[in-house]
Amino acid sequence: MKSGSNLEKILASGQFAVTAEAGPPKGTSAKVVQRKGDLLKFCCDAMNVTDNQTAIVRMSSLSGCVLLQNQGVEPILQMVVRDRNRLALQADILGAAALGITNVLCLSGDHQKFGNHPTAKGVYDIDSIQFLQMVKQMRDQHSFLNGEEISGEVPMFIGAAANPFADPFEFRVARLAKKVAAGADFIQTQGIFDMSRFARWMEGVREKGLHEKTYILAGLIPIKSVGMARYMRNNVSGLSVPQELVDRMANSDDPKEEGVKICLETIEQLKEIEGIHGIHIMAVAWEDIVPRLVEESGLMPRPVV
């Protein structure tokens, strides 16, 4: 075991994993995080806590993780390189390890231009792949980026993101290979709406044997309304939402129910794809739907390992 985290144990035992996402509040209320933890604790194996998601300032990811942990939920610490340099990133990894956090997701982060402080200076001292490498070095070699020794263990299960829907498509498998080589123990993908493109990407992943070197959790974003579908199709960079899906939402008498159906169908299709080790549900502002999605896709109860 690299970290001994619940997520690692479940994946290592060959069981289909479920993770979910919790965005911390734009404020100081611990209750917001605790409520999400209570809601999702029995239907997922670990919960991601986002890090100034879409470059909007929120309660820090590390604090959110501690709050979840106190609720009995295993957190996944999301960290972006947009807001921290190599000193701050390493310091937070040490702190996270000291606090008993054992999963980390290493990301670049959305550009600050999208957020609520668009004139901020972006840090980008190192990139997400170098960040993966750095955490792996901290864990496996007990050393900082500069080679100095770290006292104590850094038992982290290291994750990365992959977006099969971004361009150039031909390079997306190669980029995953770089992340795996850099140290990604698990991958959480962008939300999947375009199944044919995702399946093609997975073919490439299998050809390179990457599914045997890392655990791939397929991303899901439940759609609540036709407006949300349209917005994601037209405005969110890095997402591919087919027109048929927008039409399906538009033609439905009960869009919320349709959104659930779409999500459940997607999960069923994903279960059939070789090399998928679990799902990651990003129910932004619709966390309440997650227990139902997990239940109805036959993934309850969650295994105890």
Partner 1 sequence: MITIERKKIEEIADMIKGLNKLLVLGCETCAAISFSGGRRQVEELCAGLRMARETEGDLAEIVGDSVARQCEPEFVDMAGDKIAEADAILSLACGAGVQLIAERFPDKIVLPGSNTTFIGVTEKMGLWTERCAGCGDCLLDKTAGLCPIARCAKQLLNGPCGGSMEGKCEISKDVNCVWQQIIDRLSRLGQLDKLAEVFPVKNWTPAGHGGPRKYVREDLKS
Interface with partner 1, residue 154, by CB under 8 A: no
145/264 with CB nearer partner 1: 145
Residue 66, token pair as written in the block: 């501690």
The alpha carbon dihedral of 262, 268, 272, 275 has a sign of positive
Interface with partner 1, residue 202, by CB under 8 A: no
86/206 with CB nearer partner 1: 86
Interface with partner 1, residue 116, by CB under 8 A: no
Which of 15, 54, 124, 252 is in the footprint of partner 1 by CB under 8 A? 124
Q: Are 145 and 86 contacting, i.e. CB atoms less than 8 angstroms apart?
A: yes
Interface with partner 1, residue 1, by CB under 8 A: no
How far apart, in Å, are the Cα atoms of 275 and each of 32, 57, 201, 221?
A: 35, 36, 11, 20
Please work out the total of residues on this chain that contact partner 1, with binding judged by CB under 8 A.
35
Which stretch, 27-35, 65-73, 161-169, 221-229, contacts partner 1 (CB under 8 A)? 161-169
User: Which residues lie closer than 8 Å to 230 by C-beta, 6 or more apart?
Assistant: 246
> How many Å from the N-terminal Cα to the C-terminal Cα in the chain?
13
Which of 26, 238, 243, 295 is in the footprint of partner 1 by CB under 8 A? 238
Least spacing, CB of residue 190 vs partner 1, in Å:
6
Helix (H, G, I), strand (E, B) or coil at 200: helix
How far apart, in Å, are the Cα atoms of 203 and each of 55, 59, 190, 206, 238?
A: 33, 39, 17, 5, 20
DSSP symbol at 165: T
Interface with partner 1, residue 168, by CB under 8 A: yes
Interface with partner 1, residue 237, by CB under 8 A: yes
Interface with partner 1, residue 216, by CB under 8 A: no
By C-alpha distance, which of 90, 104, 87, 100 is closest to 160? 104
For the CA atoms of the chain, what is the radius of gyration? Answer: 18
Interface with partner 1, residue 111, by CB under 8 A: yes
Q: Give the E-state strand segments of 65-207 in sequence order.
A: 75-80, 103-107, 157-162, 186-191
Which of 133, 188, 214, 297 is in the footprint of partner 1 by CB under 8 A? 133
CA–centroid distance for 12 within its chain: 18
Interface with partner 1, residue 144, by CB under 8 A: no
**Cα–Cα distance between 75 and 67 in angstroms, integer?**
9
Least spacing, CB of residue 196 vs partner 1, in Å:
17
Interface with partner 1, residue 88, by CB under 8 A: no
111/142 with CB nearer partner 1: 111
Which stretch, 125-133, 265-273, 287-295, 296-304, contacts partner 1 (CB under 8 A)? 125-133
Which of 122, 204, 242, 303 is in the footprint of partner 1 by CB under 8 A? 122
Give the CA dihedral 61, 64, 66, 67, nearest 10 degrees. 180
CA–centroid distance for 213 within its chain: 18
Residue 24, token pair as written in the block: 């911390």
184/299 with CB nearer partner 1: 184
Which of 145, 250, 264, 273 is in the footprint of partner 1 by CB under 8 A? 145
Which of 2, 41, 142, 178 is in the footprint of partner 1 by CB under 8 A? 178
Interface with partner 1, residue 91, by CB under 8 A: no
Q: Are 143 and 150 contacting, i.e. CB atoms less than 8 angstroms apart?
A: yes
Q: Which residues bind partner 1 (CB under 8 A)?
A: 82, 86, 108, 110-111, 113-114, 122, 124-130, 133-134, 145, 161-163, 166-168, 170-171, 174-175, 177-178, 181-182, 190, 237-238
